[in-house]
Amino acid sequence: MDYSKNLITDKTLELLLSLADEVKLKQAIDQQFSGDKINRTEDRAVLHTALRDFDGMKTEVQSVLQKIKAFSETIIGGSHKGYTGKSITDVVNIGIGGSHLGPEMVVDALKFYGNHLKLHFIANVDGDDVAETLKDLNPETTVFIVVSKSFKTQETLANATVVKNWFLKRATKSDVQKHFVAISVNIKAAEEFGIAGDNIFPMEEWVGGRFSLWGSVGLSICCAIGYAHFEELLKGAFEMDKHFKNTEFSENIPVVMALISIWYNNFFNVETEGIAPYSQYLNFLVPYLQQAVMESNGKSVDRNGEKIQYQTGTIVWGNVGTNSQHAYFQLLHQGTKLIPTDFIGFAESLHSNRENHNMLMANFFAQTEALWEGTNHQAPDNAFKVFDGYKPTNTLLIKKLTPHTLGSLISIYEHKLFVQGIIWNIFSYDQWGVELGKSVAEETLKAIEENDPNIMENPSTQNLLREFIKMKTL
């Protein structure tokens, strides 16, 4: 990690490190790793790191990993047969939020390491999207993984029901057990849906959805890349966990990244952070990190229940390079907003296209150089070609995209947001804002189904529902 192109001095870093000590960051890190219930509003531990702790793995975690390994190997090897005796060719993950974003991101990022299975993801409750996914699938050769911690998530259950009804047009209820598996803590609800007990993979209460890809939620990942690669993903994250837990803060990658982010957010009033991965394989990294960061640290009440008078969670956005350079980079270079940006690049390509990769990485290095240096030293006569420079960036340079290095990369950002939450004095691991939207949606659904806008109290919503009801009945 290179953070030399930032608006900081040695004194800045010294003061930020003092801030980390003042809020007792080391103690907070130890509390998380030891299993203290740091998610106080839900009275839960935050132990996703335990899912990849190869020095002292919990028995229940080992058991789940073995079950994941056994099931994925039967799917990949072809011994798991569908209801007509054919081997499985397609796997569909049905989930939303953390039950979707993590698995989809990793599967796409590591498709170079994939096998013959085709992976599909259904998340949006948009029925058109579900139909588009199903239209090219054969029910005889497809396995569906329904991922819902509570097995009550509205969008996931709605989509799973549509899929099951589609499946039953060709098969029988007894065939469901060969084609549907569940990942949930609610075993009873999964069984009532028709899924056999042996095909239900447990989740732990102490693992939040947006940090759950490392456990049973990663079943689709394991099917896509095989257990050996899945384990390497976990080991890469574990390696970064040890670095985060044991390294002095001045040399600690997640800590330094978090402190720099705090510096811009709270002292420069910067509201957003860019992320530019220079690999098409990381196309889904930004959406994944948007949930991880903004769902975690989008809080305006501190741990004492008091309204916060300072800025907390940053807005995360971006896209892959070099596509980004031909889109929003103009604003980074010459816009009026200061947007610190993380650049993520790899020294080696996976398909050994050296010429293209050299060009890609030349742009990777050139952009951070141009953002920082600008044209101040050149003093062009044309004002429209002046670049002020001093636009901050962090550079994460990784040897090669592998399951191991991807695991480490994801772990960096997990720990970064944790550090930010400690310094901002907020609880990072609940998401009550998400729950509010769910409860309101139940009321609006009732208004739609009963054609009664007056169920809602807000006049604007009432008028919108009236127009919607008129439109859909035409």
Beta bridge partners of 276: 343
d(CA 104, CA 98) in angstroms, rounded, equals 10
DSSP secondary structure string, 217-243?
Answer: GGHHHHHHH-HHHHHHHHHHHHHHHHH
What's the burial of 85, exposed, middle or buried (CB within 10 Å: 0-12/13-18/19+)?
Answer: exposed
| Contacts of the segment 323-330: beta carbons below 8 A, 24+ positions apart | 324/276, 325/363, 325/367, 328/274, 329/367
User: 273, 342 in Cβ contact below 8 A?
Assistant: yes
The reply to whether 104 belongs to the active site is no
Q: Which of 11, 135, 307, 326 is an active site residue?
A: 326
Q: Considering the candidates 178, 295, 404, 416, report the single residue annotated as catalytic.
A: 295
Q: Note if 100 is an active site residue.
A: no
Task: Give residues with Cβ within 8 angstroms of 30, minimum separation 6.
Answer: 245
CA dist., res. 324 & res. 328, Å (int): 6
Only one residue has tokens 């139940």, namely 442
> In sequence order, what are the residues at sequence separation of 6 or more whose Cβ sits closer than 8 angstroms to the Cβ of residue 43?
37
The conformation of residue 314, written as its DSSP 8-state character, comes to: P
116 carries an active-site annotation: no
Looking at residue 50, its amino acid is A
Candidate list 24, 26, 152, 438, residue with the active-site label: 438
The set of catalytic residues is 295, 326, 438
